[in-house]
Structure 1
Amino acid sequence: MKLHDRTALVTGAGSGIGRAIAHSLAQRGCHLALADVNAAGLADTVAQLQPTASARGLRLSRHALDVADRAAVAALPDEVLGHHPGLQLLVNNAGVAVGGTFEQVTEADFDWLFEINFHAVVRLTRACLPLLQRADQARIVNLSSVYGLISPPGQTAYSASKFAVRGFSNALRHELAGSTVGVTVVHPGGVATQIARSARKPAAVPAAEIEQRIAEAEKKLRMPPARAGEIIVRGMERDKARVLVGGDAVVIAWLERLAPVSYWRWLGPLVMKTTR
């Protein structure tokens, strides 16, 4: 896919992988509509991109958006068209996490995570698909996770949502086969973002235990976001159906394929070893 002079809508663009994707797209001459609920982070992203946008003559718009707000999601395509003549790329990147086992995570927190990680992906796709179908070439890019390939203990809510994104993306790709709209699902491994630190914490778990879990999780988050963003954007350019981000994601994908039921017998001890 030629990204030059295309327009991309990127959610969760105020930090982490979303911000990195925006930078990589801008370097290729892609116009950007950037959305996030974090107004300060979104302003920082826009400020960082402004020199590139000015030098390349790129349109750059920012949109305050809570992806769990149905009315705001439904209104977003018209808002984007107020700044851009069309839309060719939708990057559903916004996501959150909840720490704790199934018994520790409340029903309210479980539902909150699903609203953002899965239902928002579906709603944004539904809202933007008519715009994408007007283009001669377009693509939907949905961020899943390595936890959309495997399901570790303590990740029931997050893993369930990321498996849902994976299944939705794969089925949608088959439905849109032969059209001008492609679908890419992305499985990042350990990318050094703030997702573990900003995850919702179960009230039933002691603060010391939560801090220990966060520290263990952050040891696995090693890849710089800029590197992850570049891998993802290269996958868009190559029309890839699936993008594995990081060597850990590649190993996990192969292990799950070889031992789809018993992989945790080998992977579990390795995870525990690397977090000590």
Structure 2
Amino acid sequence: MKLNNRVAVITGAGSGIGRATALAMARRGARLALADVDGDGVAATAHEAAALGAHATHHVLDVTDRAAVAGFPAVVRAVHGKVDLLMNNAGVALGGTFEQVGETDFDWLMDVNFGAVVRMTRAFLPLLHASDDARIVNVSSIYGIIAPPGQAAYAASKFAVRGFSNVLRHELAGTTVGVSVVHPGGVATKIAQSARAPVGATAEQVEQRRRTTQKMLRMPPAQAGEIIVRGIERRAPRILVGGDAKAAALLERLAPTGYWNLLKKAIKR
């Protein structure tokens, strides 16, 4: 897929993987409609993209706001004229076992991580169908491949993104719209620092969990962004980001119900 002069909509573009992917696309001549709930962050990303020569607009968007999402395609079309690529990247984190995580927090995370993917896809699909070469890129996680304890809500949302993406790919086969699902491993974003803590967890438990998670987030976002964009250019149906994601995918295939016992031993080492 040639990204030059293609219009890409990216959610969660204010930082992390969203920003890195936007800049990687900017370097390839894509035109960008960048969205995030963080207005300052997404404006900074647009400024960096413009410095690379890209035409980039930035938009404050809460992906849980149904009316705002439904109206967003018209906003993008008015500025850019078309849409060729939709990257559903916005996401949040919430640590804790199923029994620790309350219903309200669980529903909040599912609404951001999965519900928004469905809403954005439904809203933009008519514009994508109008393109001669379009793609939907949904960001899942390594936890959409493996399901470690303490990630009940997060893993549920990312497995849902994976399943939804696979169904879409099958349903859209034969059209001009392709689908990629992205599984990042440990990318050094702020997701662990900004993760919501479960009700009832002590400050010590929360800090310990964040420290443990942060140690696994090693890949620079810029590197992850390049891997993702190269996958898009190859029209890859699944994009594994990092050696840890590749290893997890292989281990899950070899031991679909017993991989966690093997991983626990590796983590202890």
The normalised TM-score by structure 2 is 0.99
Q: 1:98 aligns with which of 74, 94, 103?
A: 94
Equivalence for 1:126: 122
Equivalent position amino acid for 2:149 in 1: P
Residues 235 and 243 of structure 1 are in contact (CA less than 8 Å); yes or no, is this contact kept in structure 2? yes
Identity of aligned residues (%): 62
C-alpha displacement of 1:178: 0.8
Residues 105 and 202 of structure 1 are in contact (CA less than 8 Å); yes or no, is this contact kept in structure 2? yes
1:5 and 2:5 equivalent?
yes
1:136-175 aligned at under 5 Å gives the runs 136-175=132-171
Equivalence for 1:86: 82
Residues 59 and 84 of structure 1 are in contact (CA less than 8 Å); yes or no, is this contact kept in structure 2? no
Length, aligned pairs only:
269
C-alpha displacement of 1:59: 2.3
Rounded Cα–Cα distance in structure 1 between residues aligned with 2:43 and 2:123: 25
Q: Which digits, 9 at most, give the CA deviation of each residue in 1:25-82, with x for residues without a partner?
A: 00000000000001111121122222113xxxx3211110000111110010001012
Q: 1:67 aligns with which of 41, 51, 63?
A: 63
Equivalent position amino acid for 2:140 in 1: S
Rounded Cα–Cα distance in structure 1 between residues aligned with 2:117 and 2:268: 32
1:61 partner SS: strand
Equivalence for 1:247: 243
Residues 184 and 236 of structure 1 are in contact (CA less than 8 Å); yes or no, is this contact kept in structure 2? yes
Unaligned segments of structure 1, at least 5 residues: none
Rounded Cα–Cα distance in structure 2 between residues aligned with 1:219 and 1:255: 21
1:83 partner SS: helix
User: RMSD over aligned Cα, in angstroms?
Assistant: 0.8
Equivalent position amino acid for 1:231 in 2: I
C-alpha displacement of 1:208: 1.1
Equivalence for 1:17: 17
Residues 49 and 55 of structure 2 are in contact (CA less than 8 Å); yes or no, is this contact kept in structure 1? no
Unaligned segments of structure 2, at least 5 residues: none
Rounded Cα–Cα distance in structure 2 between residues aligned with 1:38 and 1:66: 9
Rounded Cα–Cα distance in structure 1 between residues aligned with 2:266 and 2:200: 28
The normalised TM-score by structure 1 is 0.96
Rounded Cα–Cα distance in structure 2 between residues aligned with 1:47 and 1:138: 25
